[in-house]
Amino acid sequence: MAGKEIAVKKYVVRLSADEREKLSEFVRSGKRSAQLLTKARILLKADVSNAGEGWSDSKIAAALDTSVANVERTRRQLLEEGFEAVLTRKYNPRSTPRRIFDGVAEAKLIALACGPAPAGCARWTLSLLEEKVVELNIVEKASDNTIGRTLKKTFSSRISSSNG
């Protein structure tokens, strides 16, 4: 293999000097996820500009211990979504559910659970707390399971799991 190996590709990577410098610094720092560091290395190897190496997808995949499909996806993402999109992780809204009780809401729940039980009840139950946190607009909605998990570490002996 003499020189640069460039196949006829739909997504050809041509980086500016500034983009190459950013990618090099990104890789040198090593303070990002392995996935993003691999993408940065792929782009540096795939760059066909004068300063780039212009490697083939198969050679990049072998050198970086990744798949040819990953190299192709990274090339496509650069040209379709832009330079910054390659270096940021996409957020999948279905990956982890949003926390219902943030720090402030959790503190209010704990204060409520530590306070006196409602009239006619010996103690707070999870279902009573569930109704009260919604009534007081601490959270929009919550299940007794969520409240139980939130209070578990601190108040497992104070809260009754019965519904009465």
Parse the chain into domains and list their residue ranges. 17-86, 103-155
Question: What does the pLDDT look like over 76-113, one tens digit per residue?
Answer: 999 999 988 888 887 777 777 778 888 899 999 999 99
Question: What does the pLDDT look like over 15-73, one tens digit per residue?
Answer: 988 999 999 998 998 888 899 999 999 999 999 888 888 899 999 999 999 999 999 99
Query: To 10 degrees, the CA torsion angle through 62, 67, 69, 74?
Result: -80
Is 43 within 8 Å of 73 (Cβ atoms)?
Answer: no
Q: Of 128, 131, 107, nearest to 119 (Cα)? A: 128
Question: What does the pLDDT look like over 123-147, one tens digit per residue?
Answer: 999 999 999 999 999 999 989 898 9
DSSP β-bridge partners for residue 125 = 160
Q: Of 103, 111, 104, 97, nearest to 143 (Cα)? A: 97
Query: Is the pTM of the predicted complex or chain greater than 0.95?
Result: no
